Amino acid sequence: MERVFVFDAYGTLFDLGSMQSHLEARWPSYGSIIMQLWRLKQLEYSWLRTLMGEPFVDFWIVTKQSLQFALSSAGIILSQSDVEKVASEYHRLKLFPEVRAALQTLPARCAILSNGSQSMLDALVANAGIGAELDEVISVDAARAFKPHPRCYALVESVLHVAPKNVVFISSNSFDVSGAKRFGFTTVWLNRSPPEDAIAPVDPSQLYRLMRTQPEQLDAIPDYTCASLERVRRALKI
């Protein structure tokens, strides 16, 4: 039985915190709230567009529109060209420290399945220099929908020619894990937040962190939960 590892991109392989640092440098004291609003709206817009049955637009448009919302909410007005310049940092996100070694040592084919448009993902992978470690970089563009729509996960079988039961899907996004689990993948929830975060004092600016560190209550429990990619092989005993 061939086992294939498929990874989400944003927040799983690539650290969105590197984007927050860029925003904070540009707008001191606002970087965290802009990043959280941006990511929350980015996901919300992807779901709404899929649910409303609108003509499909790719994730680059969703990313720019959600950034515009976040900036406007913070009282920051930019031209469309400047919004695009800020959003283009999505092409240069940094890898989490353990990612490169993990991809190099997994004894199986590895691929990305992401909401990102193909051009966004290709730029991201090229800038990070991990193209040689990936067999495929799959965008949901071909499904004309965003995760967690089942058509997105079905792309893995059509592109990699592997049955769902032979796919290990790894994501830091709990909604993504729920969708993949329902589709029939073996799922690993990559929850990098330390356990003490669950009881740490919080303020409203940390809403996004609170939402990311809790499993979804959708009766689609991850098969495994790991704090880093280094622990995935140990959890799956490979």
Positions marked active-site: 8
Closest CA to 232 of 197, 183, 192: 192
219, burial (CB in 10 Å: exposed 0-12, middle 13-18, buried 19+): exposed
Q: Which of 221, 169, 175, 215 is nearest to 42 (CA)?
A: 175
Give the Cα separation of 170 and 162 in Å (integer).
16
DSSP class per residue in 12-65 = TTEETHHHHHHHHHHSTTTHHHHHHHHHHHHHHHHHHHHHTTPPP--HHHHHHH
